[in-house]
Amino acid sequence: MSPILTVGSVAFDSIKTPFGEVARVIGGAATYFSVAASFFTDVRLVAVVGDDFTDEHSAVFRGRRIDLSGLQWVPGETFRWKGEYDLDLNTRKTIYTHLNVFQDFQPKIPANFQSTPFVFLANIHPTLQLEVLDQVRSPRFTAVDTMNYWIERTPNEFASVLARVDTVIINDEEARELSGEANLVRAARVIRKMGPKRVVIKRGEHGVLMSFDDRFFAAPALPLEVALDPTGAGDTFAGGFIGYLASAPTVTDDVLIQAVIAGSTMASFSVEDFGLNCLLRLTESEIKARFGEFKRLIHFNAL
Amino acid sequence: MSPILTVGSVAFDSIKTPFGEVARVIGGAATYFSVAASFFTDVRLVAVVGDDFTDEHSAVFRGRRIDLSGLQWVPGETFRWKGEYDLDLNTRKTIYTHLNVFQDFQPKIPANFQSTPFVFLANIHPTLQLEVLDQVRSPRFTAVDTMNYWIERTPNEFASVLARVDTVIINDEEARELSGEANLVRAARVIRKMGPKRVVIKRGEHGVLMSFDDRFFAAPALPLEVALDPTGAGDTFAGGFIGYLASAPTVTDDVLIQAVIAGSTMASFSVEDFGLNCLLRLTESEIKARFGEFKRLIHFNAL
């Protein structure tokens, strides 16, 4: 079992969906990722928060396998985001993004984190992602997420990141924009030519498509009766996916496929309640049970 | 191996997609269904065409395991439909629907077809579907398709059909409209309460969700590099699905799951060219190879 280093945002989110509303709850890509991955292995979190982020807030990380020694507390306000979802939960509008202390964030990887074998660069400015890559020493596995904003505004910087990681984990829209190809088969091929040897495309309620070796693996999402809030589902997927990989002795094709199911399992919990709520009360036995449910959903006995 | 009786439309289609256009090609739900199913078992087709439907046209059925003795030739023009697809091929506009000879179609099931063990009622007026059910004798398996038009305009007639079949094969929009539930888990439950013990929900490029027994099976669609025309893909799925079931000794849960993959395999060919083109030139070895490709796409080795 190997630890994972992750660098990204810890934030206060305000979220409105057709099914309710929450204000100033703890969110951020690195938060969802860390909580999800900590069910599988040790996580080393590097991020920045303001002095409005109290011990009460950091309690979401405590009692979990999350090392907070890379969490920088600086004067000022924590990153804040507010989003509103449409009726089908598939499209959302950002009401505001206040970077606050994140504006001047310089990721500093503590010395004892620099040889972490698994590295996940959550969605932040690609220049910061490059600074992280400059500070780590020959990780065995590196993955990156991003968003359309960076693909559009900092294409060269993001291309430099892509050239230095082995896995990219993005959603279908981002894959299309990044590759300039509407077709996901072609999009995956174009992205792999940019550097990463694996492309994991998150399709929300339609599941995941992974391009690796000479093949694809596709998994549907678990059909859910209750879906209240998709915020953080993609980062939760990444946490389950990489957490599973890091908990395995080696990253084989079978393990990659199992990891897609592990990530999808974690993401299925995440959407069942607002923000982190469902992940925070989750137990290992619930994860095991749902992993089994997932296997049953997609299991195919050949003739 | 059991034969299948199908009743539905044989038509002349004109189709425009962002990738091209064809005019007055042979289409219709029962056509796609029969051609696809005939790769697996014998098909008995009951439909009506006009005197503009020549021997040249009916050649698409010949040399296949399709019995045309229930195909009625009547004076007048064959059913004609024209549709136009949006850029993403997911939404289409019907330019016209000319029922022509289909207007007065009375399905007459030939005596030697009345004990066919597998029955597929393609999308036609539910009153005609009921007339077919009145003429068949204790089939082992009955499935029905429909469209929003009938769900909205003839809800009671369609409810009577649902009460008398064991499987319904519809797309996600139809499932939502029929059940009044946006959520597909709840939609499937509501529809099963209306009669059928299985609901197969076609989600286009997002695959298939089957509700049966106390469970779901979900399969993604095969990621395709070329998709030119989705016309008939749903009926082609139904043809592969029921064709596979009818070719198996018994309909078990494993066989139902394999049948979803068989149907998805056939549908994946269908969209790769306009109209019936791809299905007409298809060989059994291509089907076997792609079935294998499908298995590899979704195959999951548990720990």
DSSP per-residue string spanning B71-119: EEE-SSPPPEEEEEE-TTSS-EEEEEEE-GGGGG------GGGTT-SEE
3-state SS, one letter per residue, for chain A:
CCCEEEECCCEEEEEEECCEEEEEEEECHHHHHHHHHCCCCCEEEEEEECCCCCHHHHCCCCCCCEEEEEEEECCCCCCEEEEEECCCCCCEEEEEEECHHHHHCCCCCCHHHCCCCEEEECCCCHHHHHHHHHHCCCCCEEEECCCHHHHHHCHHHHHHHHCCCCEEEEEHHHHHHHHCCCCHHHHHHHHHHCCCCEEEEECHHHCEEEEECCEEEEECCCCCCCCCCCCCHHHHHHHHHHHHHHHCCCCCHHHHHHHHHHHHHHHHHHCCCCCCHHHHCCCHHHHHHHHHHHHHHHCCCCC
Which chain B residue's Cα is nearest to A248?
B303
Q: Is B153 on the interface with A (CB under 8 A)?
A: no
Measured between CB atoms, which of B216, B220, B225 is closest to A219? B220
Q: Is A186 on the interface with B (CB under 8 A)?
A: yes
Instruction: Identify the pLDDT of residue B241.
Output: 98
| Neighboring chain B residues of A299 at a CB cutoff of 8 Å | 257, 300
Residue B54: count of CB within 10 angstroms of its CB: 10
Residues 187 through 226 of chain A touching chain B, CB cutoff 8 Å: 203, 206-207, 209, 215-220, 223-225
Q: Which residues of chain B have pLDDT under 70?
A: 303
CA proximity to B214, closest of B198, B203, B230, B227: B198
| Neighboring chain A residues of B254 at a CB cutoff of 8 Å | 301
Tell me what ipTM this predicted complex has. Answer: 0.92
Q: Are B3 and B119 in contact (CB under 8 A)?
A: no
User: How distant is the Cα of A256 from the closest Cα of chain B, in angstroms?
Assistant: 10
Instruction: Identify the pLDDT of residue A89.
Output: 87
| Neighboring chain A residues of B203 at a CB cutoff of 8 Å | 206
User: How distant is the Cα of B42 from the closest Cα of chain A, in angstroms?
Assistant: 21
| Neighboring chain B residues of A217 at a CB cutoff of 8 Å | 297-299
Tell me the average confidence (pLDDT) per consecutive run of 10 residues in chain A, 303 residues long: 97 96 97 98 98 95 97 97 91 93 96 98 97 97 97 98 98 96 96 98 97 97 96 98 98 97 98 97 97 94 73
Instruction: Identify the pLDDT of residue B139.
Output: 98
pLDDT digit string, tens, across residues B85-113: 998 888 899 999 999 999 999 999 999 99
Yes or no, beta carbons of A300 and B185 under 8 Å apart: no
CB pairs < 8 Å spanning A and B? 90
Instruction: Identify the pLDDT of residue A303.
Output: 63
| Neighboring chain B residues of A220 at a CB cutoff of 8 Å | 206-207, 209, 218-220
Which chain A residue's Cα is nearest to B292?
A302
Q: Is B90 on the interface with A (CB under 8 A)?
A: no
Q: Is B250 on the interface with A (CB under 8 A)?
A: no
Measured between CB atoms, which of B185, B298, B300 is closest to A223? B185
User: How distant is the Cα of B298 from the closest Cα of chain A, in angstroms?
Assistant: 6
Which chain B residue's Cα is nearest to A201?
B223
What's the whole-model pTM score?
Answer: 0.95
